[in-house]
Amino acid sequence: ALLADSLLGKFKTILYISIVYAIGNVILSVGSIPNDLSTMKAVSLLGLFIIGVGTGGIKPCVSAFGGDQFSSRQEKERQKFFSVFYFAINGGSVLSTLLTPILRADVHCLGSNSCYPLAYGIPAVLMIVALILFLIGKPLYKMKPADGNIFQSVFKCIC
């Protein structure tokens, strides 16, 4: 949120951090391909760390960016957007909680009785698709510029 509000604006922050997030998903998927155990652990942990950075960077910006798309006269539409937005977030979470174990356990790949690369690869592909769709929508978005250095404003207020 600090990056979005002070330097880049919400759109660029979401874009750049989504790229980081997608890279983390790809690394996690690659790290789950059966190989040397210590390499798999290291690559998977790196992927998880990068995903954590991506999640922390995106979450505070996406809902605020969505809210920015509505004028003050569109309160009803904004409320509807947030209802659908949070329903989609939670519905996706439930769906992934149900499907990921099935993909992992019931699909056999790479000579193994389970398929972690598929279970982690699908979210990676979906994140890349979401990133592309986000970019395609750019001409339609209302983008507010960053407010500038927030620390400077806070410091001026205190002094």
Question: Rounded to whole angstroms, how far apart are CA atoms 143 and 51?
Answer: 25
Is residue 151 predicted with pLDDT exceeding 80? no
Question: Rounded to whole angstroms, how far apart are CA atoms 110 and 27?
Answer: 17
Question: Rounded to whole angstroms, how far apart are CA atoms 81 and 100?
Answer: 27
pLDDT of residue 158: 78
Average pLDDT over residues 128-152: 87
Domain boundary assignment for the chain? 1-158
pLDDT of residue 1: 62
Is residue 144 predicted with pLDDT exceeding 90? no
Q: CA-based diameter of the chain, in Å?
A: 66
Confidence of residue 112 (pLDDT cuts 50, 70, 90): confident
Is residue 120 predicted with pLDDT exceeding 90? yes
Question: Rounded to whole angstroms, how far apart are CA atoms 30 and 112?
Answer: 15
pLDDT of residue 113: 85
Pull the structure tokens for residue 50: 């990068």
φ and ψ at residue 108, rounded to 5 degrees:
-105, 130
Taking only the tens place, the pLDDT of each residue in 39-86 is 999 999 999 999 999 999 898 899 999 999 999 999 999 999 999 999
pLDDT of residue 150: 65
Q: Is 85 exposed, middle or buried, given 0-12, 13-18 or 19+ CB atoms closer than 10 A?
A: middle
Pull the structure tokens for residue 134: 């986000």
Is residue 131 predicted with pLDDT exceeding 90? yes
Mean pLDDT, the chain, integer: 90
